[in-house]
Amino acid sequence: MENGKVKIGVLTSGGDAPGMNAAIRAVVRTGINKDCKVIGIHKGYIGLINGDITELKSKDVSDIMNRGGTILHTARCPEMMTEEGISRAAAIYNILGLDGLIVIGGDGSFRGCKALSERGVNAIGIPGTIDLDISCTEYTIGFDTAVNTGLDAIRKLRDTSSSHERCSVVEMMGRDAGYIAMWCAMTGGAEEVLIPESKGVITSDMVIEQILMNRSKGKRHNLVVVAEGVGGTVKLAKKIQDITGIQTRATVLGHLQRGGVPTAVDCMHASMMGYLAVKAILDGEKNKIVAFNRGRYELIDINTALSMTKKIDSEYYDVVKLLSI
């Protein structure tokens, strides 16, 4: 505490996600409203280790809610994987006189929070990743925007693939998780979806068999969604074309899905989670993740959060298939 004011640090870490800026804005404005000093830390944990900071005032976060990316920048920080790096980050936290550190990021960033919490840092995590792959929460900031970007691409590809009676194979981001791909497949009306969670169960031969069956039923175009964690999209498109004779095009969305104006859903969760993270520090909570489950926000202990697991309901796959006939 400095001059009686609670001092809160905020950083964004790991992969960026649309809505991170809305979360930073919420942290800063809630903090200022509650008479705290808010310190922005640049480039994630690297900035903490190097003491690369700026005090954030209300006007510093005006007009950022509708911008993708993160004004604090983000990075991966290998030093945090070492004892020296973690100790240095904790030492800087103490030198800066912080009462809490808000980390907006994914699972990896939360492992950094856990390591810091073991050295006396009070770390509060806000789930920010397009991949939705954080087990302790049903929502992660950035997911809705990434799905909408994917869906927009699918709709455009459908126009052209149906005009030419082609097959489209579209790869969606998501690292090792298939949430974005599954949501895009369902909402884009895909005929097939390949996600890491069903690797080995759904094979490329099964996809080709399905496309041939669709053709025999008179379907003129096919859409196959592939998750980044499965990969091999260009190869799959070639295989489909070689075996079926149907012109097939591959599209890999890649980092396009990381950018863009965050949707209302992302801005809403980011605003609430940013507010709740500051409130948690002021309420004396220690080392928690702000989560959204069963329609409510909650705080989950960092150790519990990191030991949780979640998986995609296999019924989603069944429904995609059921609706594609």
Residue type, 29: R
Among 77, 184, 236, 312, binds ligand ADP (CB under 6 A): 77
Q: Binding segment for ligand ADP among 110-118, 162-170, 198-206, 216-224 (CB under 6 A)?
A: 110-118
Q: Which residue has the tokens 């806000």?
A: 126
Q: Does 12 bind ligand ADP (CB under 6 A)?
A: no
Among 19, 106, 178, 262, binds ligand ADP (CB under 6 A): 106
Among 108, 189, 232, 259, binds ligand ADP (CB under 6 A): 108
Q: Write the binding mask 128 to 147 for ligand ADP: x where contact by CB under 6 A, - elsewhere.
A: -x------------------
Cβ proximity to ligand ADP: between 11 and 237 the closer is 11
- Which of 16, 99, 131, 133 does the annotation list as catalytic? 131
Q: How far is the CB of 258 from ligand ADP (least distance, A)?
A: 11
Instruction: Identify the CA nearest to 36 among candidates 21, 58, 20, 53.
Output: 58
Q: How far is the CB of 23 from ligand ADP (least distance, A)?
A: 14
Q: How far is the CB of 26 from ligand ADP (least distance, A)?
A: 19
Q: Does 105 bind ligand ADP (CB under 6 A)?
A: yes
Q: How far is the CB of 107 from ligand ADP (least distance, A)?
A: 5
The number of residues in the chain equals: 325
Among 8, 56, 98, 107, binds ligand ADP (CB under 6 A): 107
Distance CA 161, CA 250 (A): 11
Distance CA 54, CA 56 (A): 6
Identify whether 131 is a catalytic site residue: yes
Q: How far is the CB of 78 from ligand ADP (least distance, A)?
A: 6
Q: Binding segment for ligand ADP among 93-101, 106-114, 252-260, 309-317 (CB under 6 A)?
A: 106-114
Q: Rule CB under 6 A: which of 236-295 touch ligand ADP?
A: none
Among 5, 57, 76, 219, binds ligand ADP (CB under 6 A): 76
Q: How far is the CB of 325 from ligand ADP (least distance, A)?
A: 38
Among 20, 28, 48, 80, binds ligand ADP (CB under 6 A): 80
Q: Under a CB-based contact definition with an 8 Å cutoff, are residues 195 and 320 in contact? A: no
Q: Binding segment for ligand ADP among 8-16, 21-29, 194-202, 274-282 (CB under 6 A)?
A: 8-16
Q: Does 115 bind ligand ADP (CB under 6 A)?
A: yes
Distance CA 91, CA 58 (A): 28
Q: How far is the CB of 113 from ligand ADP (least distance, A)?
A: 8
Q: Under a CB-based contact definition with an 8 Å cutoff, are residues 114 and 101 in contact? A: no
Instruction: Supply the residues annotated as catalytic.
Output: 131
The site for ligand ADP (CB under 6 A) is made up of 13-15, 45, 76-77, 80-81, 105-109, 111-112, 115, 129
